[in-house]
Homo-oligomer: A and B are copies of this chain.
Amino acid sequence: MIIVMRQDASREAAEDVAKRVEALGLKPNLIFGEERTVVAVIGDDRRKDREKFESCEGVDKVLTILAEYKIASLETKPEPTVIRTQNLVIGGGNFGVIAGPCSVESEEQILASARAVKAAGATGLRGGAFKPRTSPYSFQGMKEDGLKLLAAAREETGLAIVTEVMTPHHVDLVASYADVMQIGARNMQNYHLLQAVGECDKPVMLKRGASATMDEFLLAAEYILDQG
């Protein structure tokens, strides 16, 4: 990482920062520029060391050379991840198509949808049993009854079931029916939920939140991956 000193920071302040860097067992590299002094640090842990320096005296900001997400980075694991569940295969050159209605509404509706989805060549079925709705008065989904209907649709068609989980308390319930756990856009930064789905052994489909940056998105994925 690169620790950038303030324009008005003294030489002593920069040297103090360098000493702190050494005290952590890392190697500092002091560079005196025309307008600013920077301390380039070698050997730091991308995940933890940044915060230690941001509030040091004379420090303006800390730039990271490496991305903050590590497990989610292609640099850590360059080979593509392949997800296989039921007839759905995604990644490593495999292109999986998941289709289905917004919500599970009835047995008739979801079975007809599943047959149409399968006939069209897709291998995953989506459909909400728990629905995040802007208004508390809108239909909130069929809940566990909806999950059972999804399982029945899988039974008949072999399609993998992709369905949303909205709160940590429901993770076990949803995981007992679903093949892929969906995290909706509004929950992309619901960190306890991310950790809870990270602990279950099902693959997770994470949607990008409206107006989230790529870094925020990859760090949300890192929350899931960090649970192992």
- Residues in A lying within 8 Å of B, measured CB to CB: 2, 4, 7, 29, 31-36, 38, 40, 42-43, 46-48, 51, 63, 65-66, 68-69, 75, 132-139, 166-169, 186-187, 189-193, 210-211, 215-216, 219, 222-223, 226
Contact = CB atoms under 8 A, between A and B. Distances in A.
User: Can you tell how many copies of this chain the complex includes?
Assistant: 4
Contact of A31 (B36, B42, B215): B42
Nearest to A40: B31
Interface majority SS (helix, strand, loop, mixed), chain A: loop
A135 B190 contact: no
Contact of A132 (B29, B191, B210): B191
B190 A186 contact: yes
A132 B216 CA distance: 12
A181 to B, nearest CB: 15
A68 to B, nearest CB: 5
A51 B138 contact: yes
B167 A48 contact: no
B34 A223 contact: no
A192 B167 contact: yes
A34 to B, nearest CB: 5
